[in-house]
Structure 1
Amino acid sequence: MLRILTDSTADLPVALAQRMQVEVIPLQVTFENGDTYRDGLDLPPEEFYQRLSECHKLPSTSQPSPEAFEKAFNDAREAGDELIAVLLSSKISGTYQSAQIAASLVDYDKIYLIDGLSATLGNQLLVRLAVELRDEGRTAGEIVSILEEEKHKVRLLAVVDDLKYFRKGGRLTGAEAFAGAVLGIKPVVGMKDGHVALVGKARGLPGAYVALFKQLDQDGGLDPDKRYLVGYTAHHRAMEPIQKYLIGNLHLPAAEVFHIGPVIGTHAGPGAAGIAYFAKGED
């Protein structure tokens, strides 16, 4: 049997993970009063974003311990199963490193770790691809080889509504955030090969969505033959311009939509929306 595992930042809903037989290892979010919750399990997104908007200090996020992975890896070893783990980019979190430590402790050569080089829906794309390949009867080696190639084609672009969460997280100075608030500047952030970067900005949300669409086109465009996903934080309407672009401009079916969970949402803040897709024409 082939097991597939990921971490909670893939924002894979519990029911969907169970249906696809994917095990999810949660990260954690801790509020300033000490309350700690398992990402995707203990706190509904609606309640999380309400609490986030009221916080004076940004919640802290923490990776799973090696022990959390070790149990899953031992279970696979005892059953004689193979296991493929698709995990949050090692360039922004220690989650992958925790899994490496656990794998070295278990010392079982049928465990395959993949640094997804992405986050949230970007990694969910890889998890969903792994499931499809598993269900087609591909071997673990074949799946790992395909995922290692395809992960470099994954793109994640998002419009962020409020810069204060980037400021609170130390990603912007107070002056930059203040200027953004006064001028109505909305950033577009992107993720490629494991890193998060500012890829565009515009005055007002409509302009930011246009900047996102331009970036999508400049980066090779979306491969319409592969899965693409749309996500949002707190406000469902934030993703509507992206859906309209997919349907009206690219003449594609509407994307599946997901509510982004607490760990990623801590840094993006309420009102963000984004799209994850495979770039077209990439080697």
Structure 2
Amino acid sequence: MSVKIMADSASDLTQSYFTEYDMEMVSLTVHLDDKDYEDGVAITPKNVFDAMREGKSPKTSQVSPQTFKTIFTSYAESKQTLVYLAFSSELSGTYQTAKMMEQEVKEEYPDADIHVIDTKCASIGYGLVVLNAAKLANEGKSKEEIMEDAKKRALHMEHIFTVDDLEYLQRGGRVSKAAAFVGTLLNIKPILHVEDGKLIPLEKMRGTKKLLGRMLEIMEERGLNFENQTIGISHGDDLERAEKLAEMIKEKFGVKDVIIEFVGSAIGAHSGPGTLALFFLNKSFE
């Protein structure tokens, strides 16, 4: 029996990917206007970004323990192998909850072939790791091969991103109120990256004109062999800028394969409209 891959909605992969590769999906929850919505199922990123532009502050919560318990139990009972590649443990408690439920289910079903991996990745960077695992699973690769490849890709996945308004990150506790105020006042656009699963500011730029060029420079400094890998771009309701970045990348590096998707509701609720993120494997990946 083949290995089943599971991911959560913070991978920012649309439902069509889960259907195409026969993957299992679990959703984080988005709280907006006193209602709860399943990310990727009951609410679209556009809904969230439009609400934020109107001054609303959506909140998010992790996948519930019961959801994991139900899914893990069904795989334990059917004796099927499940590999859950989880959203970064530094950005959500979802991974820890899944690990707890994995232990609980294995107490009742000691032979359950369930594996939970912390990717330390987010958005389409996480999504690219998941897609590759799903392709390997569909090719009939062993769980060991799939997990080894996923861990390696996750470790070497670069996340380079910028946000349009620092206020959104400030609301989520990512930057201080003073920094957000000064940044907005001076039209400072931060470039951030993910290091060991955490969001880390990299540098600041005035205005947006030089931003895309600088993202390409960082890509060139950190990466290699771009023409033979899939590059990921996610955006906070700014397809035009995402497509511009994709064109620049194709022209400069001879890249053939670029995936462009919305920043999903769960991540977008913290980063805000106008977010632009770039994902690629770095030089250390061989």
Is TM (by shorter chain) over 0.5? yes
Post-superposition offset of 1:222: 5.8
Q: Is 1:4 aligned to residue 5 of structure 2?
A: yes
Aligned to 2:158: 155
Distance of aligned partners of 1:191 and 1:221 in 2 relative to their CA distance in 1, 3 Å threshold: farther
Q: Is 1:106 aligned to residue 97 of structure 2?
A: no
Aligned-partner Cα distance in 1 for 2:253–2:86: 30
Amino acid at match of 1:104: Q
Aligned to 1:95: 94
Aligned-partner Cα distance in 2 for 1:166–1:110: 38
Post-superposition offset of 1:189: 1.4
Aligned-partner Cα distance in 2 for 1:255–1:109: 37
Amino acid at match of 1:246: I
> Unaligned stretches of 5+ in structure 2?
none
Aligned to 1:167: 170
Q: CA RMSD in A?
A: 1.6
Aligned-partner Cα distance in 1 for 2:145–2:86: 18
Aligned to 1:45: 45
Selected match of 2:180 from 155, 177, 180: 177
Post-superposition offset of 1:224: 3.0
Q: Secondary structure at the match of 1:274?
A: strand
Aligned-partner Cα distance in 1 for 2:196–2:279: 13
Aligned to 2:283: 280
Q: Secondary structure at the match of 1:198?
A: strand
Aligned-partner Cα distance in 2 for 1:148–1:159: 25
Amino acid at match of 2:9: S
Q: Is this contact kept in 2: 1:234–1:270, CA < 8 A?
A: yes
Aligned-partner Cα distance in 1 for 2:213–2:268: 22
Q: Secondary structure at the match of 1:205?
A: coil
Aligned-partner Cα distance in 1 for 2:191–2:244: 14
Aligned-partner Cα distance in 2 for 1:221–1:187: 24
Post-superposition offset of 1:187: 0.8
Alignment of 1:177-216 (within 5 A): 177-216=180-219
Aligned-partner Cα distance in 2 for 1:150–1:48: 30
Tell me the TM-score normalized by structure 2.
0.93
Amino acid at match of 1:21: D
Q: Is this contact kept in 2: 1:157–1:275, CA < 8 A?
A: yes
Selected match of 1:129 from 125, 132, 137: 132
Distance of aligned partners of 1:37 and 1:192 in 2 relative to their CA distance in 1, 3 Å threshold: same
Q: Secondary structure at the match of 1:206?
A: coil
Q: Secondary structure at the match of 2:18?
A: helix
Aligned-partner Cα distance in 1 for 2:142–2:18: 21
Aligned to 1:253: 256
Post-superposition offset of 1:171: 2.0
Post-superposition offset of 1:219: 2.0
Aligned to 1:73: 72
Q: Secondary structure at the match of 2:30?
A: strand
Alignment of 1:230-269 (within 5 A): 230-253=233-256, 255-269=258-272
> Which structure carries more relative contact order (alpha carbon 8 Å, separation 6+)?
2
Amino acid at match of 1:43: I
Q: Is this contact kept in 2: 1:199–1:215, CA < 8 A?
A: no
87-96 vs 101-110, greater mean Cα deviation:
101-110
Q: Is this contact kept in 1: 2:227–2:256, CA < 8 A?
A: no
Q: Percent identity?
A: 27
Amino acid at match of 2:151: E
Aligned-partner Cα distance in 1 for 2:208–2:26: 34
Post-superposition offset of 1:254: 5.3
Deviation digits for residues 9-66 of structure 1, max 9, x if unmatched? 00111122111111110001112x422111111112222211121135x322110122
Q: Secondary structure at the match of 1:224?
A: helix
Q: Is this contact kept in 2: 1:201–1:208, CA < 8 A?
A: no
Post-superposition offset of 1:82: 0.2
Amino acid at match of 2:63: P
> Unaligned stretches of 5+ in structure 1?
none
Number of residue equivalences: 281
Deviation digits for residues 226-270 of structure 1, max 9, x if unmatched? 222111111211213321221221121251211111111011110
Aligned-partner Cα distance in 2 for 1:6–1:80: 19
Tell me the TM-score normalized by structure 1.
0.94
Aligned-partner Cα distance in 1 for 2:138–2:75: 18
Aligned-partner Cα distance in 1 for 2:133–2:64: 24
